Structure 1
């Protein structure tokens, strides 16, 4: 059961990674701090990956699911 669960999770993550190739997160950095005056800058941090990574994860998950079924027979 453990191998099948890991395989299903890998397939789900792989499909999500194929559909969404990147995401961004934003941080705020303080540029100037002079008494009551503050100037902040929002910095965008993109994280990008290849859809091939998603394909490999989904394929590996399918292999785990199918290999577990063959072991039971």
Structure 2
């Protein structure tokens, strides 16, 4: 359980520092034999600031709870 707590702490701090993830997907629009037309779409996943704080606090609570046993 202590390992899970440490992982949550690290993930929560990363969520506080990086407010979202941006990535690009490629979608095939037309495929006519040797001719292909692809479309690139930019997408992003954003999370609120309080989500990172909640994950960090949960990690600290799990770590403290595991060390008291």
Which TM class, normalised by the smaller chain length?
A: 0.7 to 0.9
Structure 2: which 5+ residue stretches go unaligned? none
Structure 1 unaligned blocks of 5 or more: none
Q: Which residue matches 1:30?
A: 28
Look at both structures and tell me which one has the larger radius of gyration over its CA atoms. 1
- Pair 1:6 & 2:4 matched: yes
Normalised TM-score (structure 1): 0.78
TM-score (ref. length: structure 2) = 0.82
Partner deviation per Cα, 1:34-55 (whole Å, 9 max, x = no partner):
5654432210111111121111
Report the equivalent of 2:38: 40
How many residues are treated as equivalent by the alignment?
69
CA offsets 1:18-37 (integer angstroms, 9 cap, x no match)? 11111112111233445654
